[in-house]
Chains A and B, each alone.
Chain A
Amino acid sequence: MGIDLPLIWAVIIIFGVMMYVVMDGFDLGIGMLFPFVKGERDRDVMMNTVAPVWDGNETWLVLGGAGLFGAFPMAYSVVLEALYLPLILMLIGLIFRGVAFEFRFKAKDDKRHIWDKAFIWGSLIATFFQGVALGAFIEGFKVVDRHYAGGTLDWLTPFSLFSGLGLIVAYTLLGCTWLIMKTEGPLQLQMHDLARPLALVLLVVIGIVSLWTPLAYPQIADRWFSMPNLIWFMPVPILVLVTFYGLLKAVARNANYTPFLLTLVLVFLGYSGLGISVWPNIIPPSISIWDAAAPPQSQGFMLVGTLFILPFILGYTFWSYYVFRGKVTHEDGYH
Chain B
Amino acid sequence: MESSKPKRRRSETSSTNLRIPEGIILEILWRLPVKSLLKFKSVSKPWLRLISSKYFKKTYIENSRKHKAFPHHSIISPCWNPGGMMINSCPLYALLTEQSTHAPPLDCPKACSSEMLVLGSCNGLICVGVGRDKILLWNPATRESKELPYFFDGVNDIEYCGFISYGFGILDEISGDNYKVYALFYLACWDDEGVPLLCSMGKVYSLKSNSWGETAVYYNETPLHGAIESAGKFASGKLHWIRKTAESKWEIVFLDLTSETFGGLEKPSDDFVPRFGVLDGCLCLFCDRPKMFDIWIWKKYGVEDSWIKFSRIPYDSDSWRTPFVTPLPEEWGQLCMLPNGEVLITYMSSEYESKFVIYSPKDNGFRQRYVDKFKDVDQVEVYSESLVSLVLDDEQEKAKS
Chains A and B come from one and the same complex: no
Interface residues of A (CB under 8 A from B): none
Interface residues of B (CB under 8 A from A): none
